[in-house]
C-alpha cells in the first residue's frame, strides 16, 4: 500500500487518438485517483490504465494525494467531480470517509469504478476490481509458517484499520494461522500509519519485548520497508523471517539481500487496465462486471529472476 511524491496532486494526462465517447459523442474522459501518488503500486496501476486507455482511444487523467489519507484524497475527488469526467476510477483511502465525496460523484452521473480498495456502501462502484486479499493473507501465513518451521512468535504490521485491502489481508492471515498452524504464536497486529519510520520503530519495540520473535508479516510496502530496516539494524537478518506484501523495487532488493524471505506480488497493472475497460463499458452503456478479483504471485529469491515473475514486479514509472 507507499512512498509519496513531493507534490500533492500529481497529474498525468494521457490523450490517445481514436473515437468513442460518452453517449457516442466525443472522446470518453476517465480520471484515475490513486491512493497515493508516486508509490510504485499505484504507478504500476497507472501504467496499466494508461496502456489500456491508449488502446481504447480514451482520455485518461491520473491524480493522487501526497499521503494515503482521506482528508487529502477528498479535495482531489471534489475537484475531479467539478470537472465532470465521464468516469472515475478510484482507490478509496478509507472505507467510510470516502463515501460522501463518492456519493456526490455518483449524483453527477459520473460512472465510478473502484480499484484496489473499496468503501462500505455497496451501491458505490459499478465494478470493484482488486486482489483477492483474504487469499493473499492466507498465502502469507503459509509462507511465513514454513519459513519459521511451523513454530514461534509472529507479528503483523499493517497501515491503519479501515483500509479494505489490508484489513482483508490481516483476516486471511489470522484465519489461516488459527486454523492450520497451532505452533505459531500470533502476537497480533500493529499499525504503522503507512510510515516507514513507524514500522521500523514497531519492530524495534517488538524485538525488545519479545527477543525470540520468529517472524513478521508486513501487510504493505511501507511496512515491509520499515520492518526490513529495523531487522538489518538489529542484526536479525535471517534469524527473524519476514514475508512482505507488494513487490516494489525496495522490496525486491530486500528479497535479494535476504532481508525478506518471500513477497506476495499483486497485479496492479492488470487492475488499472481492467478498470479502464469497465469504465468505458459503463460510459457506453455496455455490460459491466460487478466484481473482478485478480491474482497474486509469491516471489522468492529462487524465482525472482524468472521472466514471468519479472513481469509482475512493480515499476516507478512507465
Residues 6+ apart with CB under 8 A from 41: 1, 2, 116, 221, 246, 248, 266, 268, 314
pLDDT digits (tens, 9 = 90+) for 133-171: 999 999 999 999 999 999 999 999 998 888 888 899 999
| Domains in the chain, CATH or no CATH each | 12-131+267-293 (3.40.50.2300), 133-265 (3.40.50.2300)
Give the model's pLDDT for residue 56. 97
pLDDT digits (tens, 9 = 90+) for 259-316: 889 999 999 999 999 999 999 999 999 999 999 999 888 899 999 999 999 999 999 8
Give the model's pLDDT for residue 165. 84
Give the model's pLDDT for residue 251. 85
pTM > 0.85: yes or no: no
Give the model's pLDDT for residue 6. 34
pLDDT digits (tens, 9 = 90+) for 59-75: 999 999 999 999 999 99
Average pLDDT, the chain: 90
Distance CA 131, CA 169 (A): 10
Instruction: List b or e across 245-268, with b for residues whose CB sees 16 or more CB atoms inside 10 angstroms.
Output: bbbbebbbebbeeebbbbbbbbbb
Q: Is the pLDDT of residue 200 over 80?
A: yes
Which residues make beta-bridge pairs with 61? 13, 31
Q: Is the pLDDT of residue 25 over 60?
A: no
Distance CA 4, CA 52 (A): 25
Q: Is the pLDDT of residue 22 over 80?
A: no
How does residue 14 score in pLDDT terms, banded at 50, 70 and 90?
Answer: very low
Amino acid at each position: 500500500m507507499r512512498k509519496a511524491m513531493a507534490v500533492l496532486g500529481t497529474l498525468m494526462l494521457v490523450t490517445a487518438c481514436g473515437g468513442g465517447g460518452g453517449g457516442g459523442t466525443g472522446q470518453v474522459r476517465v480520471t484515475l485517483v490513486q491512493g497515493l501518488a508516486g508509490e510504485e503500486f499505484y504507478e504500476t496501476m497507472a501504467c496499466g490504465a494508461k496502456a489500456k486507455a491508449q488502446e481504447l482511444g480514451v482520455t485518461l487523467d491520473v491524480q493522487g494525494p501526497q499521503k494515503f489519507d482521506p482528508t487529502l484524497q477528498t479535495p482531489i475527488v471534489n475537484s475531479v467531480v467539478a470537472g465532470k469526467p465521464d468516469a472515475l476510477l478510484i482507490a478509496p483511502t478509507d472505507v467510510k470517509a470516502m463515501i460522501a465525496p463518492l456519493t456526490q460523484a455518483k449524483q453527477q452521473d459520473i460512472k465510478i469504478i473502484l480499484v484496489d480498495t473499496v468503501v462500505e456502501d455497496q451501491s458505490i462502484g459499478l465494478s470493484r476490481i482488486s486482489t483477492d486479499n483474504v487469499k493473499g493473507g492466507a498465502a502469507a501465513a503459509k509462507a511465513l509458517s514454513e519459513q519459521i518451521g511451523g513454530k514461534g512468535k509472529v507479528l503483523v504490521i499493517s497501515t491503519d484499520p479501515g483500509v479494505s485491502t489490508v484489513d482483508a489481508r490481516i483476516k486471511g492471515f489470522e484465519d489461516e494461522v488459527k486454523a492450520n498452524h497451532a505452533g505459531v504464536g500470533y502476537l497480533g497486529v500493529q499499525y504503522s500509519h503507512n510510515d516507514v519510520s513507524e514500522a521500523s520503530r514497531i519492530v524495534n519495540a517488538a524485538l525488545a519485548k519479545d527477543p525470540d520473535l520468529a517472524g513478521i508479516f508486513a501487510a504493505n510496502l511501507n511496512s515491509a520497508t520499515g520492518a526490513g530496516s529495523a531487522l538489518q539494524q538489529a542484526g536479525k537478518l535471517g534469524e527473524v523471517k519476514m514475508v512482505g506484501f507488494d513487490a516494489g523495487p525496495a522490496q525486491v532488493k530486500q528479497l535479494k539481500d535476504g532481508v525478506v524471505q518471500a513477497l506476495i506480488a499483486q497485479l496492479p497493472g492488470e487492475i488499472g487496465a481492467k478498470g479502464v475497460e469497465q469504465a468505458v463499458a459503463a460510459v457506453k452503456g455496455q455490460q459491466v462486471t460487478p466484481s473482478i478479483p485478480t491474482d497474486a504471485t509469491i516471489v522468492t529469491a529462487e524465482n525472482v529472476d524468472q521472466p514471468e515473475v519479472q513481469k509482475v514486479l512493480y515499476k516507478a514509472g512507465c
